[in-house]
Structure 1
Amino acid sequence: MTAEAPTAPAAHPSAPEYGRLVPVTVHFDDLDALGLLHNARYPVMVERAWAQLWQERGFVGYAGDWEAAGDFCNAVRELRISYEAPVDRPGAYAVHLWLERLGNTGLTYGFRFCSADGAVTYAQGSRVLVRLDATTLRPTPWSERFRALGRELLRPES
């Protein structure tokens, strides 16, 4: 492992103009045999960052009962991720999260796995979720409370 920072990642401003920057920690056991953050760990860390963000806003998440889970009774329809530069050491990082689209029963969120200050991007992507009815497992609308908080995370149109 080298002590130098990667030279190829895309640079971004340290304070995001939209969405939220959520701190995450890469542990030694998240690294693969080459000493790099394993590709499968990125989506897990993004998922944990989203869970933390929603918990901070009063949503409990899934606790064993799909009916009680409400907006957290949802399924992933699509996941896209591109890896920009390797993470080659444990430590403090961040996930920049935002919503690209907030529909009636679905949403698309964007993310960047980045340095703790948000300045360096290591991976980026998007994920599409569909809210499900706990009984029928068919698409159903997001709650108004969820939609109100979600609107705060929408990325402004360019």
Structure 2
Amino acid sequence: MTAEAPAAPVLTHGRLVPVAVHFDDLDALGLLHNARYPVLVERAWTALWSELGFGFDGDWEAAGDACNAVKELRITYDAPVGRPGAYAVHLWLERLGTTGLTYGFRFCSDDGAVTYAHGTRVLVRLDATTLRPTPWSESFRSAGRGLLRSAD
């Protein structure tokens, strides 16, 4: 008789995006350095938005919705990551406003079963010329609605 691995939790919202932790992401104690979590979350968002058709090629004038700035970042560390390897980031939108959004994230095991850190980040879309808040495009809002977390 062989034991079966427990089933990964079913995602009710958002997307699970694979990320890799490398040896040089670890601190002197062999743990994922606290500053690396937001970087890995950002890489996951970049991959997801690119998949949804919203990439950035370095031209701020043409960047459109990719021209945005972080207003706030909150993160709670739940359990240490103690080795390099395959992990994932569970991503979703908490709020999608006219010029801003709040996204939620979980840094987790590659199957989403174990949460190592979770948090939120607030972004504001900026006009590339004035650097003042400007509305998200309708195509971005349409894609974002598919990532919204329902009131569960």
Give the TM interval when normalised to the shorter protein.
over 0.9
Q: Note the residue ranges of structure 2 that are not aligned, 5 or more in a row.
A: 1-7
- Structure 1: stretches of 5+ with no match in the other structure: 1-12
Look up the equivalent residue of 1:98 and give its one-letter code.
Answer: W
Q: Does 1:35 align with 2:16?
A: no
Q: Distance in 1 between matches of 2:52 and 2:119?
A: 23
1:64 and 1:37 mapped to 2: Cα distance? 29
Q: Tell me the CA shift for residue 64 of structure 1.
A: 2.4
Match of 1:131 among 107, 125, 129: 125
Counterpart pick for 2:54 among 39, 59, 68? 59
Residue identity opposite 1:73 in structure 2: C
Report which stretch shifted further, 49-58 or 101-110: 49-58
What SS does structure 2 have at the residue aligned with 1:50? helix
8 Å Cα contact 1:105/1:141 also seen in 2:
yes
Report the TM-score when normalising by structure 1: 0.90
Superposed, 1:62-81 pairs within 5 Å as: 63-81=57-75
Kindly provide the amino acid, as one letter, of the partner of residue 18 in structure 1.
H
Of 14, 23, 44 in structure 1, the residue corresponding to residue 18 of structure 2 is: 23
Say yes or no: does 1:103 pair with 2:106.
no
Q: Return the match for 2:40 from 45, 58, 62.
A: 45
Asked whether the equivalents of residues 14 and 119 of structure 1 are also in contact (C-alpha less than 8 Å), the reply is: yes
1:113 corresponds to 2:132: no
List per-residue Cα deviations over 1:93-142 (Å, max 9, x = no partner): 00000000000000000000000000000000000000000111000000
Give the partner amino acid of 1:156: S
Counterpart CA distance in 2 for 1:105 and 1:148 is: 14
Contact 1:19–1:97 (8 Å) recurs in 2: yes
Q: Secondary structure at the match of 2:63?
A: helix
Q: TM-score under structure 2 normalisation?
A: 0.93
User: What does residue 83 of structure 2 align with?
Assistant: 89
Give the Cα–Cα distance (whole angstroms) in 1 for the partners of residues 151 and 61 of structure 2: 34
Tell me if the contact between 1:15 and 1:117 (Cα under 8 Å) persists in the aligned partners: no
Q: In structure 1, the residue corresponding to 2:47 is in which secondary structure? A: helix
Matched pairs, number:
145
